Chains A and B, each alone.
Chain A
Amino acid sequence: MNSRKTAAAIAVTLAMALGASACGSSDKDSDGSKGGGGSAKADAGLSSIVNASDKKGGTVVYEHSSGPDSLDPGNTYYGWVQNFSRLYARALVTFKPAAGKEGLEVVPDLATSLGKASPDAKTWTYTLRKGVKFQDGTEITSKDVKYAIERSNFAPEALSNGPTYFKAYLEGGDKYKGPYKDKSPEGLKSIETPDPYTITFKLNKPFADMDYLAAFSQTAPVPQKADKGAEYVQNIVSSGPYKFDSYSESSGATLSRNPEWDQASDPIRKALPDKIELKLNVNATTVDEHLLSDTITADAAGTGLQSKTQPKVLVKADEKAKTDNPYAGALQYLAMNVNVKPFDNIECRKAVQYAVDKAGAVNAIGGAVKGDPASTLIPPSVSGYKKFDLYATPGNKGDAAKAKAALTACGKPGGFSTTLTARADRPDEVLVATQIQESLKKVGINADVKTFPADKYFTDFAGVPDWVHKNNAGLMMMAWGADWPTGFGFLDQIVNGSAIKPSGGTNLMELNDPKINKALTDGIGTVDPAARTAAWGNVDELVMQNASVVPLFYKKNLLYRPESAANVTVTEAYLGMYDYVLMSSTK
């Protein structure tokens, strides 16, 4: 008995000590006025560059709780790698390293200007800067860019991680076998390189967002000599201001200055730090603690502090001042399948629109820090966002009276039963699903919540129309972030009829409305940027009129700026993480 008491006493002591450490970790920050970041307010990074500095030197240290899909610019889909790769890979164009909305602007990088389009938006030409060199001193030519695109989009047997938009939009892209199998010297014919500084893309349909495709790290040049396919990641040849000193899949990478990089050829990078360190597979709690204790500069993933760390920071004014709470460029929504009864009737869809308590959903996952109630598909941080609310309810809490009226109009005054799917390993999504289940119940709709593993959600369940019909899965939880931050980049994969697939589809509503499809096609054929951007808001409105999507909330992250982090600003172009091109360190 005695030993049990002792054990209990020890356990209590340990637990209290843990609590003490949780409350006391800020004392070392109170003397920290040296960084200059101390004067900034919460959310300062959303609209300005915090702790701006022109001082060269120092080491920027990033940590990540797992790892990238690949650091190879031609084999990655992750937003943070797109952002990070700009330190060692220069794409044709990229997003402007700047604060606020300016960060959504595409600016020339390896190219001298943005793409020059033919009037039908089917032919795009870029001119490369002269005298830009790889880290081995050889000059970068248009052939290196062409090769990089060929390997990244057309060799799925070796490089399968990245998006394949070039394959989808380039003429003859469906037939070309990729540089590893097709060894002919001309390669893909629809990418022309008439001289070492000109590259022309011939597309199979009008596509005016071409500059956004050209901003993918896939257009960063790769010398054919050095390409070893999937193993290229071990020896990446830099075209940017930093080169790899070491790389290991398990522990990370160290980058130092690339002597062949020339500031004169690069108007957008200041390249302030001397060294960049990226540490991988660090325990997530440790990453947060390192941020709070100013041991590292940033969490590479850019998804912010973990839920359990957030309260620690938010309760103290001086700590909260070091946080930014940006939109993550993603929307959590509820999809209604228009081919599952009774959601084939728009009135029944409207009933759900009015019944759902969006404010409650946000509260369920932790309140305003995690998201804002949404009324549109396109989030405010994406070009083309238009503010409107077709199904407004008081305080976003739902309107039972309107919902019941819609149910009556649908011919189901007593309500009905259906199934609501969610991803089991996404706790927030399950919480929201349960909360929606409750608010639907109030108007007589009984939704049976069923959860499935995230990695099979689209390939085996919600993304398979046959499965959805058979299982009466009228309601499906879904979250979406754009591959590039325009209305088209956001909407095309989730509301276009062409995104309905036998398996792995992301148009969960099975929305195949000729009006919406046409509006998307017309919009992407519009070369004028202002007119094009305006088109996306209208598509958004068309989808909302169809009532098959209930936007729940625009996701938000809680980022933390340690004292030593300099030139810190949120880039909306990369899902609301910090801009890694700008970031430097006083350490």
Chain B
Amino acid sequence: MAAYIIRRVFAAVLLLLVVSAVTFAIFFLVPRLGGQTTDSLAAQYIGKSPTPDAIAAVKKNLGLDDPVYLQFWHFIKGIVVGAEYNFGPNPSVCHVPCFGYSFKTHVEIWPEIVQRIPVTLSLAVGAAVIWVLSGVAIGVLSALKRGSIIDRLAMGVALAGVSLPMFFTGLVSLALFSFHWTIWEGLEFVPFTENPGQWAWNLILPWCTLAFLYSALYARLTRAGMLETMGEDYIRTARAKGLRESKVVVKHGLRAALTPLVTIFGMDFALLLGGAVITERVYSFQGMGAFAIQGVTQSDLPKVMGVTLVAAFFIVVCNLLVDLVYAAIDPRVRLS
């Protein structure tokens, strides 16, 4: 078990390095291939009228003239030992782990991300709980009452959920419940530590819209899985043994049907932790997704790099967890 985890962690670090290298290349190599010079790259970080002086100063300060591999090395080094930049009378220190200094707003990236994690985490966890519970419950119910009105209605709603994009359901829910009926007026993120009640209340709408999108998929998957397992021989055996129906459904049917769901859940949840980009934008929540958008629209590489790495980190971790959970719920999986 320990060897397995160490092996996986090592692979994860390697993977993160590759991800950061690719992100770095997209920002610094691709524009060059497209014919851009370092001057035009530097000019993006200066206001309306970049003077040659300012361009030279910015290039020197951000090290844009160095070869790309050297810049990448500085970035990686910064994460481990920190870095220093000259943005004023005294050098500004970028503390460990230094994910860089924003080229545009001159703030350290890591504290910004840390400050935004609670927002994204609140969104993701709450929505995940709702979508897993409702999705699985609806899926099981539909499978057991196959062909009934409930089944058809549930699957109909599920189809709508899968097909309606977030920016549509999000805006519609805002238009209805915030602007029209003003149930949630002045919707903004309130930290859990400040006021748990308000925290939950203000998150209900985003949770529900996010969960609507995902639970649909989960309901359909659970239904399909349940239909399959409930037809298996061992279910008939269980029933023949005289087990209670509830035990048959939950312990023998659902458990087997859940395995593929866990994999997908791991991925979905990890992706959300990397920033619910559209949801955060629609509800004006300042999470990691909103941060990533800011970074992209301002061509502010350190912001994009930071969010990409954190998101990749979550995906790697969640995948590892999923593999471990597999062993627990599916007796057929052995780690060795």
Q: Chain A residues in contact with chain B, CB under 8 A?
A: 2-7, 10-11, 14-15, 17-18, 20-22, 24-25, 66-67, 69-70, 77, 155-158, 160-164, 167, 179-180, 227-234, 249-251, 281-283, 285-286, 289-290, 293, 295, 455-456, 459-460, 493, 503-504, 506
Tell which of A10, A250, A282, A293 touches B157, judged by Cβ atoms closer than 8 Å: A10
- Indicate whether A163 sits within 8 Å of B47 (C-beta atoms), given known contacts A6-B157, A6-B159: yes
Q: Are A456 and B48 in contact (CB under 8 A)?
A: no
Cβ-defined partner of A295 (8 Å) among B158, B185, B281, B286? B185
In the bound complex, CA of A460 to CA of B172 (Å) = 41
B227 smallest CB distance to A (angstroms): 15
Q: In the bound complex, do residue B49 and residue A504 qualify as a contact, i.e. CB atoms below 8 Å apart?
A: yes
A115 to B179, CA, bound (A): 50
Q: Contacts A7-B163, A295-B186, A506-B49 known; list 16 others, CB within 8 Å.
A: A6-B160, A10-B157, A10-B160, A17-B175, A66-B294, A157-B57, A158-B86, A158-B87, A158-B106, A160-B46, A167-B51, A228-B88, A233-B105, A250-B294, A285-B174, A293-B185
The smallest beta-carbon distance between A4 and chain B, in angstroms, is: 7
Query: B75-93 vs A: 1/0 string, CB under 8 Å?
Result: 0000000000011111010
* Residues of B contacting A18 in the complex (Cβ-Cβ under 8 angstroms): 171-172, 175-176
Contact B49 A460 (CB under 8 A): no
**Counting CB contacts under 8 A, is B267 at the interface?**
no
Q: Judging by beta carbons under 8 Å apart, are B156 and A20 in contact? A: no
Tell me which residues across on chain A come within 8 A of B152, comparing CB atoms.
Answer: 2-3, 6
Decide if B159 touches A3 in the complex (CB within 8 Å): yes
Please determine whether A250 and B286 come into contact, CB atoms closer than 8 angstroms.
yes
Considering only CB atoms, which chain A residue lies closest to B85 in the complex? A230
The distance in angstroms between the C-alpha atoms of A337 and B51, with both chains bound, is 23
Ranked nearest first, the 6 interchain pairs of A and B with the lowest CB-CB distance are A229-B88, A6-B156, A156-B54, A230-B106, A21-B180, A230-B87
A110 to B: closest C-beta gap in Å: 23
A460 and B50 CA atoms in complex are apart in Å by: 13
Q: Among B21-29, B37-45, B324-332, which stretch is in contact with chain A?
A: B37-45
Q: Please, could you name 27 A-B residue pairs with CB atoms under 8 Å apart, sorted by A?
A: A3-B159, A6-B152, A6-B153, A6-B157, A11-B160, A11-B164, A15-B172, A18-B172, A24-B180, A67-B294, A156-B54, A164-B54, A167-B51, A179-B89, A180-B89, A228-B92, A231-B88, A232-B88, A233-B106, A249-B105, A250-B286, A281-B294, A283-B284, A285-B171, A295-B185, A493-B49, A506-B49
A72 nearest CB neighbor, chain B only: B106
Q: Which residues of A contact B178 (CB under 8 A)?
A: 289
**Which of chain B's residues have a CB closer than 8 A to the CB of A6?**
152-153, 156-157, 159-160
Task: Please determine whether B160 and A286 come into contact, CB atoms closer than 8 angstroms.
Answer: no
Partner of B182, one of A4, A17, A293, A506: A293
A160 to B291: give the CA distance in the assembly, Å.
22
Q: Determine the residue in chain B with the shortest Cβ distance to A295.
A: B186
Separation in Å of the B46 CB from the closest CB of chain A?
4
**Shortest beta-carbon distance from B97 to chain A in Å:** 19
Q: Is the CB of A460 within 8 A of B40?
A: yes
What residues of chain B lie closer than 8 Å to A67, measured between beta carbons? 294
Q: Is B318 an interface residue (CB 8 A)?
A: no
- Smallest CB separation, B151 vs chain A (Å): 9
Instruction: Give A504 to B37 CA distance when docked, in angstroms.
Output: 13
Query: In the assembled complex, which residues on chain B have CB atoms less than 8 Å from the CB atom of A290?
Result: 186
Question: A155: which B residues are within 8 A, CB to CB?
Answer: 88
Number of interface residues of B (CB under 8 A): 62
* A459→B42 CA distance, assembly (Å): 11
Which of chain A's residues have a CB closer than 8 A to the CB of B88?
A: 155, 158, 180, 227-232
**Does B283 reach chain A (CB closer than 8 Å)?**
yes
Among residues of A, the one whose C-beta sits closest to the C-beta of B47 is A161
Are the C-beta atoms of B180 and A70 separated by less than 8 Å? no
A233 to B39, CA, bound (A): 26
A164/B156 in contact, CB under 8 A: no
Contact partners of A459 in chain B: CB under 8 A: 40, 43, 50
List B contacts of A24 (CB < 8 A). 180
Q: B57 touching A3 by the CB < 8 A rule?
A: no
Separation of A66 and B293 alpha carbons in the complex (Å): 11
Verify A283–B40 contact, CB threshold 8 A: no
Whole-angstrom CA separation of A163 from B158 in the bound complex: 54
A163 CA to B48 CA, complexed, in Å:
7
A-side contacts of B284, CB under 8 Å: 281-283, 286
Tell me, in angstroms, the Cα distance from A180 to B36 when the chains sit together. 30
Q: Is residue B112 within 8 Å, beta carbon to beta carbon, of the partner chain? A: yes
Question: What is the CA–CA distance of A20 and B174 in the complex, to the nearest angstrom?
Answer: 13
Question: CA–CA, A459 to B48, complex, Å?
Answer: 11
Smallest CB–CB gap between B37 and chain A, Å?
A: 9
Is B51's CB under 8 angstroms from A25's CB?
A: no
Taking CB atoms and an 8 Å cut-off, the chain B residues in 246-292 that contact chain A are 281-284, 286, 290-291
Contacts of A456 in B (CB 8 A): 40
Q: Contact check, B49 vs A163: say whether CB atoms are below 8 A apart.
A: yes
Contact B286 A281 (CB under 8 A): yes
Contact in complex: B87, A3 (CB < 8 Å) = no
What's the nearest-Cβ distance from chain B to residue A457, in Å?
Answer: 12
Question: Which residue on B lies nearest to A227, using beta carbons?
Answer: B89
Interface centre among B44, B153, B180 (most CB of A within 10 A): B180
Given A156-B51, A160-B47, A250-B116, decide whether A229 and B179 contact each other with a Cβ distance below 8 A: no
What's the minimum C-beta distance from A204 to chain B, rounded to whole angstroms?
16
User: Which A-chain residue is minimally distant from B290 (CB atoms)?
Assistant: A281
Q: How far is the CA of A547 from the CA of B50 in the complex (A)?
A: 29
Cβ B155 vs Cβ A249 within 8 A: no
B123 at the interface (CB under 8 A from A): no
Is B107 close to A, CB under 8 A?
A: yes
**Cα distance A425–B233 when bound, in Å?**
61
Would A229 and B92 count as touching, CB distance under 8 A?
yes
Q: CB of B53 within 8 A of chain A?
A: yes
List the B residue with the shortest CB-CB distance to A156.
B54
- Contact digits for B99-135, partner A, Cβ 8 Å, 1 yes 0 no: 0000001110000100110000000000000000000
Query: How far, in Å, is A301 (CB) from chain B's closest CB?
Result: 15
C-alpha gap A15/B87 in the complex (Å)? 50
B226 CB within 8 Å of chain A = no
B198 on the interface (CB 8 Å rule)?
Answer: no
User: Which residues of chain A are near B175, meaning CB under 8 Å?
Assistant: 17-18, 21-22, 289
Q: Does B60 contact A (CB under 8 A)?
A: yes
For residue A557, give the distance in angstroms from its CB to the closest CB of chain B. 19
- Please measure, in the bound complex, the distance between the C-alpha atom of A5 and the C-alpha atom of B155, giving whole angstroms: 11
How far is the CB of B178 from the nearest CB of chain A, in Å? Answer: 8
B40: chain A residues at CB < 8 Å are 456, 459-460, 503
The answer to whether the Cβ of B237 comes within 8 Å of any Cβ in the partner chain is no
- The distance in angstroms between the C-alpha atoms of A285 and B168, with both chains bound, is 13
B58 interface contact, C-beta 8 A: yes
Q: Are B180 and A160 neighbours in the complex by a CB distance under 8 Å?
A: no
In the complex, chain B residues whose CB is within 8 Å of the CB of A230: 87-88, 92, 106
- How distant is the Cα of A267 from the Cα of B130 in the complex, in angstroms? 58
- Give the Cβ gap from A425 to chain B, nearest Cβ, in Å: 10
Whether B106 pairs with A162 at a CB distance below 8 angstroms is no
Of the candidates A2, A77, A160, which one forms a contact with B45 in the assembled complex, judged by CB atoms under 8 Å apart? A160
Which residue of the partner chain, among A10, A157, A493, contacts B87 with CB atoms under 8 Å?
Answer: A157
Chain A neighbourhood of B172, CB < 8 A: 14-15, 17-18
Residues of B within 8 A of A69 (CB): 47
* Distance between Cα atoms of A456 and B180 in the complex (Å): 41
Q: Which residue of A lies closest to B86 (CB)?
A: A157
The distance from the CB of A428 to the nearest CB of chain B, in whole angstroms, is 19
- The answer to whether A156 and B46 touch across the interface, beta carbons within 8 angstroms, is yes
- Given contacts A7-B163, A231-B106, are A164 and B46 in contact (CB under 8 A)? no
Residues of A within 8 A of B286 (CB): 250-251, 281
Contact residues in A for B174 (Cβ distance below 8 Å): 285-286, 289
**Among the interface residues B54, B89, B116, B153, which one has the most CB atoms of the partner chain A within 10 A?**
B89
CB-nearest residue of chain B to A183: B89
A164 touches B51 (CB 8 A): yes
* Complex alpha-carbon distance, A70 and B284, angstroms: 20
User: What is the CA–CA distance of A376 and B160 in the complex, to the nearest angstrom?
Assistant: 54
**CB within 8 Å of A: which B312-326 residues:** none
Residue of A nearest to B149 (CB): A2
The residue that A3 contacts in the complex, of B44, B155, B180, B281, with Cβ under 8 A, is B155
